[in-house]
Amino acid sequence: MRKKILITGSNGLLGQKLVYRLLPQSDVEVIATSKGQNRLKHQAGYIYEAMDVTDEQAVKDILLKHKPDVVINTAAMTNVDACETEREACRKLNVDAVEYLINTMKILPGSPHLIHLSTDFIFDGKNGPYRETDIPYPPNSVYAESKYVSEKLVEKSGLKWTIIRTVLVYGVVDFMSRSNIVLWAKDSLSKGKSINVVDDQFRTPTLSEDLAEACVLAAMKGATGVFHISGKDFMSIIELVNIVADFWHFDKSLIHPAKTATLGQPAQRPLRTGFILDKAINELSYKPHSFLEGLEIVDKQLKSDA
């Protein structure tokens, strides 16, 4: 029997990586779902359904039609500043939609497995890098609060569940709706633009392929509970951007250090997050790439797309 895996938000960074990662796997049937049309270049070998996760009836109809064994919920309002100013939209997508998925999964046959994506932003950023046993409170933005609440819904859903928290994801996908730190830095520096980059935020940046691999490992092993998934290299954002500049041979004098507090962004950012990966390495056999290996993978993909 092939495992049916339904992905929400399949047009997104993680969603696309998941579809491409699972496609060659003959023991898996992929049902990709996202809002609107399928934006992946390759559209064969899997089913695509337009599914807006904030539409309760649509969620019910599609899940009951396909009866997935696993749902990987990547759909989310991921722009943290937009969440701050559009609170209602953030709640609908990051909280209510999770409730719709849970309610429908409860009436599916068998014991369907919900794999839900969450964030390092649920930590206050005072003591990173964090383990799964650290207390995720208090979240300090609307986005973080919405993700924290969604985690609680998943934990008490009564379903078989996994929460995968991740950190600053980077990578290349088809027709991207938003950029990420690596592509933003590369693009700005390649155009000779001066950039202000924070030197007081610390992260373990995550290659999107690594995150997809961890989701697949959890799905195939039926691993449950909370997992911290990120890259293994801990660095400040300005260090990260300097590594990007070195990698593509850009002028590092364009990079200017800044403090988070001076940027005036609507949403607060936790300063020091990043993850300790021991649990994922031991229980999922998760093997993250180094940040430099990640850049090599991104570089190859950019060249093959050109």
Binding site for ligand NAP (CB under 6 A): 8-9, 11-15, 34-36, 52-54, 74-76, 78, 93, 117, 119, 166-169, 177-178
Asked if 72 contacts 8 with a C-beta cutoff of 8 angstroms, the reply is yes
Asked if 109 contacts 67 with a C-beta cutoff of 8 angstroms, the reply is yes
Closer CB to ligand NAP, 115 or 238, in the complex: 115
Closer CB to ligand NAP, 112 or 205, in the complex: 205
User: Least distance from C-beta 241 to ligand NAP, angstroms?
Assistant: 15
Closer CB to ligand NAP, 39 or 279, in the complex: 39
Dist. CA 199–CA 213, nearest whole Å: 30
Dist. CA 174–CA 304, nearest whole Å: 12
Q: Which residue is nearest to ligand NAP (CB)?
A: 12
124 Cα distance to chain centroid: 19
Closer CB to ligand NAP, 80 or 159, in the complex: 80
In 151-245, DSSP assigns E strands to 160-166, 169-170, 195-198, 202-203, 206-207, 225-229, 235-236
What are the phi and psi torsion angles at 30 (to 5°)?
-100, 130
Can you read off the two tokens belonging to residue 186? 């590369």
User: Least distance from C-beta 251 to ligand NAP, angstroms?
Assistant: 26
Closer CB to ligand NAP, 94 or 188, in the complex: 94
User: Least distance from C-beta 61 to ligand NAP, angstroms?
Assistant: 14
Asked if 76 contacts 94 with a C-beta cutoff of 8 angstroms, the reply is yes
DSSP state of 290: P
Closer CB to ligand NAP, 18 or 159, in the complex: 18
DSSP state of 138: -
User: Least distance from C-beta 2 to ligand NAP, angstroms?
Assistant: 24
User: Least distance from C-beta 205 to ligand NAP, angstroms?
Assistant: 9
Dist. CA 73–CA 163, nearest whole Å: 10
Number of H helices, E strands in the chain: 11, 13
Closer CB to ligand NAP, 81 or 254, in the complex: 81
Amino acid at 252: K
